[in-house]
């Protein structure tokens, strides 16, 4: 069976603890860089995990497979909004945080045991925007993009 994967990496000038918090329990902070979306979980292995959009609908859900603060998290992740994405089953999203000088290297690896995968194609479009916003917010205190698809200026 094939496998679809992407690996996205960003270096953020912050500490692993602050970044861990921004990725997990700091819900208000998360909403700022994730276009209003928040994640809900206890962030311990076995606990449920869900992603909630600004209108309250659950877009993705699953469970925490591994959680080792502030270094490594693995989430079993299944889309709940689109039937064709949900039908692909669960994917695995791994987040790794690694101190690199004055910065933290954040690697996001998302895989699913099928190729091609519409889920991987869908989430790979969103991650760069989210990561870029997260970096801006942690480093400068403000996000680069307010909306995932900024309205074109007339």
Q: State which residue, 83 or 102, has the beta carbon closest to another protein.
A: 102
Least Å distance, CB 102 to another protein, is 8
Q: State which residue, 65 or 144, has the beta carbon closest to another protein.
A: 144
Residues that bind another protein in the complex, under the rule CB under 8 A: 5-11, 101-103, 107, 109, 127-129, 131-132, 135, 144-145, 150, 152-154
Does residue 103 contact residue 16 with C-beta atoms inside 8 Å?
Answer: no
Least Å distance, CB 56 to another protein, is 28
Helix axes 16-23, 118-140, angle to 10 degrees: 130
Q: State which residue, 5 or 53, has the beta carbon closest to another protein.
A: 5
Task: Give the distance, in angstroms, between the CA of residue 71 and the centroid of all CA atoms in the same chain.
Answer: 15
**In terms of Cα–Cα distance, which of 24, 50, 29 is closest to 106?**
24
In the chain, at which residue ranges do the beta strands (DSSP E only) sit? 4-12, 38-41, 48-52, 58-68, 72-79, 91-100, 103-112
Q: State which residue, 92 or 131, has the beta carbon closest to another protein.
A: 131
Q: State which residue, 52 or 108, has the beta carbon closest to another protein.
A: 108
Least Å distance, CB 150 to another protein, is 6
Q: Is residue 116 reached through a cis peptide bond, with omega within 30 degrees of 0 on the bond before it?
A: yes
Measure the CA–CA gap between 52 and 71, rounded to whole angstroms. Answer: 24
Least Å distance, CB 152 to another protein, is 5
Least Å distance, CB 14 to another protein, is 14
Does residue 66 contact residue 52 with C-beta atoms inside 8 Å?
Answer: no
């Amino acid at each position: 069976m094939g496998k679809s994967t992407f690996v996205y990496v960003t270096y953020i000038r912050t500490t692993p603890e602050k970044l861990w918090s921004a990725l997990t329990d700091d819900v208000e902070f998360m909403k700022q860089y994730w276009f209003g979306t928040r994640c809900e979980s206890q962030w311990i292995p076995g606990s449920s995990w869900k992603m909630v959009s600004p209108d309250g609908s659950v877009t993705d859900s699953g469970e925490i497979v591994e959680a080792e603060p502030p270094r490594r998290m693995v989430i079993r992740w299944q889309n709940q909004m689109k039937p064709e994405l949900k039908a692909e089953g669960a994917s695995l999203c791994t987040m790794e945080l690694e101190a690199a000088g004055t910065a933290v290297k954040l690697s996001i690896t998302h895989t699913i045991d099928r190729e091609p995968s519409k889920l991987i194609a869908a989430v790979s479009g969103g991650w760069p925007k989210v990561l870029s916003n997260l970096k801006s917010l942690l480093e400068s205190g403000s996000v680069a993009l307010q909306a995932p698809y900024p309205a074109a200026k007339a």
